[in-house]
């Protein structure tokens, strides 16, 4: 019985395939709008300017460096140390801030470290002061001076006395003694 309808079934299959091919060729999908979004702008920190003086190849010059640069970068921008430079007189790992001055002392120019608790002659910028400079603040202990340097390196520059209060070993009484002696810019 299947033999009898063989031609009819074959014809129906051919018509179905042919109709499917024509339907596929005739089908046009709706156009899709593709929107390409540009990436958001990135925040690029502004470069900083530092003034390098002392025992460097090109002293007394203003250098522009990328934000986050260290004292070593400023010294290298100034041509490096001269032969008479006191390499231990400067903290090469110190993170620089805009407007800072870096002075590289000559051998023998460096004064002896100040005695603990002696009064500073001028104000001290706690964001750029060395350990030795911090030791000139009244009633400061060696571990507190080091804690200020470490806290600053880890958390960035201080903005106010309230920020200094976050350093372990500094309290309200100490901050009151330092009022007018420390600056933040």
> Which one of 3.10.20, 2.40.50, 1.10.357, 1.10.1060 gives the CATH number of domain 45-110?
3.10.20
- Fold for the domain defined by 111-185: DNA polymerase; domain 1 (1.10.150)
**pTM exceeding the 0.85 threshold for the entire prediction:** no
Q: Tell me: the pLDDT tens digits for 42-73?
A: 777 889 999 998 999 999 999 999 988 999 99
E strand segments, the chain? 48-54, 61-65, 101-104, 124-125, 182-183
- Residue 41 burial class via C-beta count within 10 angstroms: exposed 0-12, middle 13-18, buried 19 and up: exposed
Q: What is the DSSP string of 4-57?
A: TTHHHHHHHHHHHHHHHHHHHHH--PPP----PPPPPPP-PPPPEEEEEEESBS
Q: Tell me: the pLDDT tens digits for 99-146?
A: 888 888 888 775 444 333 444 446 788 888 888 888 888 888 888 889
Beta bridge partners of 48: 65
């Amino acid at each position: 019985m299947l033999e009898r309808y063989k031609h009819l079934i074959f014809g129906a299959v051919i018509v179905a395939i042919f109709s499917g091919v024509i339907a596929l060729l005739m089908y046009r999908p709706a156009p899709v709008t593709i929107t390409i979004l540009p990436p958001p702008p990135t925040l690029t920190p502004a470069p900083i300017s530092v003034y390098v003086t002392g025992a460097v190849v090109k002293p007394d010059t203003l250098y522009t460096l990328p934000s986050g640069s260290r004292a070593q970068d400023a010294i290298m921008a100034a041509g490096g140390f001269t032969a008479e430079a006191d390499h231990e007189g400067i903290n090469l790992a110190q993170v620089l801030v805009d407007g800072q001055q870096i002075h590289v002392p000559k051998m023998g120019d460096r004064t002896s470290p100040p005695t603990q608790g002696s009064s500073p002659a001028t104000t001290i910028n706690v964001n750029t002061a060395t350990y030795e400079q911090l030791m000139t603040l009244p009633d400061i202990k060696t571990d507190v001076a080091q804690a200020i340097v470490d806290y600053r390196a880890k958390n960035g520059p201080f903005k106010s006395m309230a920020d200094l209060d976050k350093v372990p070993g500094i309290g309200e009484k100490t901050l009151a003694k330092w009022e007018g002696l420390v600056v933040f810019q």
